[in-house]
Amino acid sequence: MPGRSVIHTITPGDHFSPRTGSALPTVVHLLADAAVAAGDEQHAVVLDRTTYVPRYPGVRLIEYDRGPGVTRTGRYLDAAAGRVGLTRRHQSAWFAPLADAVRGEPASHVLAHNAPLMPWLLRGTDHRVSIYAHNQLFRTFSRGEADRIVGEAAAVICVSDALADDTRRLLPRALASRVVVVENPVDTIRFMPAKPRREGPVRVLFVGRMIPEKGADVLARAAADFSAERVEFTFIGSQGFNPAAPLSAYEESLRGIARAHPSAAMTFLPFLDRDELPDRYADADILVVPSRWAEPSGLTIAEGMASGLAVVAADVGGIPSVIGDAGVLVPPDDPAALAVALTHLIEDAETRAALAKAARLRAETRDAAWAWRSLKGTLHAL
């Protein structure tokens, strides 16, 4: 873009690598690639130098040495300080090296991903700093603190209408107009439908972190209603990004559900990096995203849609805006309702195929080029 380049800041300790399935670095990577494909200037990414390699290519990396992290006590003290109008000292110290790495760059559009303090830390510079919210960032902010911190921001970019609505409710009314929506891109190149699909039982897939908020147990309980001859259920993910880590208590409980229902076919695989996922999606028929929490967007939903799967997901947060009318929504935390929806799709191959086709078509309208055009237009308006 003429005049100002784009700099993405990645939260200290977070990665910019296909070795993780995190939405944030994936979104940055897709937007940066789309900018270059559109003939726009290469983006820069500010990154803690200790994070995973290999890094995504196609960007100018600005690396820095991360300072000490914020302890749980530090987070509590920061939240208390913010409520009475004081500086969040611990988080400010944590983000200071990142801000220092940006400060000497030419005047740019700085996209502070999940970093609400960055506009304040870069106040007085020539940068236009926007907070890029992938999650709800302001629940611990008082109105006064939000006015002081967010007041330095050019915009608060949210990844869904649902997240934007929540954000506006938490910010002072005078700042609500700075909240804008740029929905996440769908990777329609890496994730493609399989042709043809193999014969055999219907294959149902879950991909995500194995934590209660993601609701894998909801699917496991629904899976107990189906015999192995009809359906195969595959769960891919670990508590974190280390596939060799010991199983958590929650992961053990999922396997306990499977052992209690031996007639159902449930397979559990550990975390897979992004390069290994396309084949797993392509081998499935139905993707289930049974989240309990209000997912702001839902990266796995987009990947499943791009892979041409029928998608069943919880009706919560930003999930409906990703799916549109190209999937099936069910109440969150309701195994019985999920089982009913799955039964319909498993027994009706025609409906399943129609949803799969609609999902891919919707994904193609929400690809990386589409998201970059939306973000580029937003930045031009600042």
Residue 26 has pLDDT above 70, yes or no: yes
Q: Which of 96, 78, 86 is nearest to 140 (CA)?
A: 78
Query: Is omega for the bond preceding 119 within 30 degrees of 0, making it cis?
Result: no
Which residue ranges make up each domain of the chain? 5-185+367-381, 202-365
202-365 has CATH 3.40.50.2000 classification: yes
- CA 55 and chain centroid, separation: 18
Q: Which of 166, 115, 175, 112 is nearest to 295 (CA)?
A: 166
Which bin fits 43, alpha (ψ -120 to 50), beta or left (φ > 0)?
A: beta
Which bin fits 312, alpha (ψ -120 to 50), beta or left (φ > 0)?
A: beta
**How much of the chain is in helix, strand and coil states, percent to nearest 5?**
40, 15, 40
5-185+367-381 has CATH 3.40.50.2000 classification: yes
Residue 1 has pLDDT above 50, yes or no: no
Would you say the CATH fold of 202-365 matches that of 5-185+367-381? Answer: yes
Residue 24 has pLDDT above 70, yes or no: yes
Can you tell me the mean pLDDT for 129-142?
A: 94
What pLDDT is recorded for position 2? 52
Residue 19 has pLDDT above 60, yes or no: yes
Q: Read off the pLDDT of residues 78-108 as tens digits, 9 standing for 90 and up.
A: 889 888 878 899 999 999 999 999 999 999 9
Q: Phi, psi at residue 12, to the nearest 5°?
A: -50, 130
**Crossing angle, helix 72-83 and helix 89-103, to 10 degrees?**
90
% pLDDT > 70, the chain:
99
